[in-house]
Amino acid sequence: MKTIIFIIISTLAFSPALAGEVKIFPGQSLTVGNTTVTCTNPGAAARPLELRACQHWDKFNRACLYEKKTLVWKDLKCDNSCQIWDDFNGVCLYESSCRFIPGQEAFVLSSCADFDRFNKVCRRTNDALIR
């Protein structure tokens, strides 16, 4: 795969008419000279990597009380993490969430902007685009 990418980059670098960025999407092909590259794995290309880590640790019982999930796509990261934590009960009251938008190569992070601690509900949320 690295060899094919090197061949394409080398060919494009020495062809002024083709200089620039070339993107191909699942099902598409690109032919330069005698080399053809076809994007054939849409499943792997459309899903970010998910990494898990303990966000809230119970030192006494030596157990993870809440595990956050970090979504990674290229150089972008978005955390599904506990935004509002109840120390007394050891539970997450509100979790931020990430959605991946493959066509945009971006994440949308939804978080709570106004949390009602008495009723334990989020009254207003905010969405942020991560590019």
Residues 24 and 64 in one domain: no
Between CA 4 and CA 9 the distance in angstroms is 9
61-118: per-residue pLDDT in tens? 999 999 999 999 999 999 999 999 999 999 999 999 999 999 999 999 999 999 999 9
Residues 53 and 103 in one domain: yes
Number of domains in the chain: 2
Pull the structure tokens for residue 82: 């506990």
Q: Could you give the 3-state DSSP secondary structure of residue 8?
A: helix
Extended beta strands in the chain, E state = 29-32, 35-38, 49-58, 63-73, 76-80, 82-86, 91-95, 97-101, 106-116, 121-130
Between CA 76 and CA 71 the distance in angstroms is 8
Residues 98 and 64 in one domain: yes
End-to-end CA separation in angstroms for the chain: 26
Beta bridge pairs of residue 66: 56
The structure's pTM equals: 0.64
pLDDT of residue 49: 96
**Which of the four pLDDT bands, split at 50, 70 and 90, describes residue 22?**
confident
Residues 31 and 15 in one domain: yes
Residues 62 and 74 in one domain: yes
Residues 8 and 72 in one domain: no
Residues 29 and 10 in one domain: yes
- Determine the structural domain holding residue 11 and report its residue range: 2-43
Q: Could you give the 3-state DSSP secondary structure of residue 45?
A: helix
Residues 51 and 39 in one domain: no
Cα distances from 122 to residues 26, 53, 66, 79, 107, in angstroms, run 39, 24, 19, 18, 21
pLDDT at 130 over 60: yes
120-129: per-residue pLDDT in tens? 999 999 999 9
Residues 101 and 80 in one domain: yes
